[in-house]
Amino acid sequence: MTRVVIVDAAGGQTGGAARFRVELRRYLAQSARKDVRMIGGDHQVSPAWLLRREIAGRTGDRRVALNNVSFVTPGSERWTLLRNPLDFLTDEEWASLHPAIRAETRRRAPVVHLAARRADVLVVPSNAMARRVSHVLPNVASRVVVRPHPVSADSIPRMSRDPVILCPVLFSPYKQMVSRLREWVAATDDRIEASVRMLVTADPSEVPEDLACHRLIKLVGRLPHAELRVLWAQSQAIYFPPGLESFGFPLAEARVNGQPVIACDTELNREVAGPALCGFTVGDADSLVKATHQALISDVAPDPAPFDPNAYFDWLLGPTQ
C-alpha cells in the first residue's frame, strides 16, 4: 500500500512561514514525490480549520503540521514544527510585550502547548528555540529535535553588489523595527559613505515620516520572495535587528549567499548566521557603526551546507517507498 504523508501548510502568508513554503514547494516539484499531500496552503489557522485537517489527515502515515499546532487525534505519526517564540516567552519577555500581542498570545499559546503534548516529534529550527520549548514544556523535551530551516543554495541570483544594505523584516510590533531603524540612522548618519542606502521592506504607513524621508532610507514595500530576490542579489549587506526570533530566515539567507548580516550579537544569531554575522549590541551606537562598516567591507564565503533543503525534507517527510 502506498505511503501517504499529510502536510498542513495553513498559516501566515508572509514572512518566515511563506519563505518555508517556497522551499517545500520547490522540493516537491524537483523530487516529484507522489506520497506527499499538502493541505491548507490558503487557509489561516482557526478552530474550524484544525477540525477539518484532523479529518483530512486520517489517511496519512505521517502527519506534519508546519504551523506550531500539532495534530492531536491518535493513529499515525504526528510531527510538528514549533517556530513561534511568542508561544514560549520568558517572564521578562512577556512583561515587555506589546499589549495587543500579549492578548493574542494569551489566546493562542495554551492551544499550542496542549497540542504539542500530543506530538510524537517536535521540530525546532535552532538550539535557542529548543531551550524555550523545553523550559516551558519540560515533559516534551525528549521529543524536541533541532533542524535549521531549509534555504536553497541558489535562492539568490549572482549579481554585482551595490553600496546598499537590505532590511527584509516585517514590521510586527514585537520586532520593534522603528526603534531599530532610528538607532541605525542616528548611529551612522555622517559616519558612513554618502552613497550607502538602506532598502527597507515596509510601506510608508508603517514608518514615521522622519524615517521614511531620511536620506539613508528607501522604502520598497512588502515584496514577494520572487521580487525580493533581486534586491538581495544587489545588496552588499543585510540588516536584521529583531531580538525575538526562533530562527531568522534573513540570517540564514545571508550565510548561504555569502553576504554579511548586521544583527544583534546573540547566541541565536551566531548559530544561524555563523561567519556572516557582523554583531552589535542594542543601545551601543559605536558597536552598530562598527558592525555596519565591517559588513560593507567584508568578503563572506557562501556556506549553504547547514540548510540543505533535500536533506531537510527527506528527513521531515520520511523516505519514499
The strand pairing partners of 239, in sequence order, are 262
Per-residue confidence (pLDDT) for residue 22, from 0 to 100: 92
At 226 the pLDDT is: 81
Q: Higher confidence at residue 42 or residue 69?
A: 69
Q: Is the pLDDT of residue 33 over 70?
A: yes
Residue with the larger pLDDT of the pair 225 and 44: 44
**How many DSSP H helices and E strands does the chain contain?**
12, 12
Question: According to CATH, what is the number of the domain 5-151+309-317?
Answer: 3.40.50.2000
Q: What is the mean pLDDT of the chain?
A: 93
What average pLDDT does range 233-245 have in this prediction?
94
**Average pLDDT in the 130-156 region?**
96
Cβ–Cβ under 8 Å, residues 307 and 150: yes
Residue boundaries of the structural domains of the chain: 5-151+309-317, 162-297
Q: What is the pLDDT of residue 1?
A: 56
User: In angstroms, rounded to a whole number, what is the distance separating the alpha carbons of residues 285 and 156?
Assistant: 31
Tell me if domain 5-151+309-317 and domain 162-297 are identical in fold.
yes
In this structure, of 100-104, 149-153, 305-309, the range with the lowest mean pLDDT score is: 100-104
Q: Residues 6 or more apart from 6 whose CB is under 8 A from it? A: 37, 39, 53, 56, 57, 59, 60, 62, 63, 64
Overall fold of domain 162-297: Rossmann fold (3.40.50)
Provide the pLDDT confidence category of residue 14 given band limits of 50, 70 and 90.
confident
Task: Please state the pTM of the whole predicted model.
Answer: 0.93
Lowest mean pLDDT among 35-44, 122-131, 308-317: 35-44
**Grid coordinates of 190:** 555622517
User: Is residue 238 over pLDDT 70?
Assistant: yes
Residue 268 near residue 310 (C-beta atoms within 8 A)? no
Average pLDDT over residues 113-139: 97
**156 pLDDT higher than 90:** no
In Å, what is the CA distance from 173 to each residue of 19, 179, 220?
Answer: 20, 11, 19
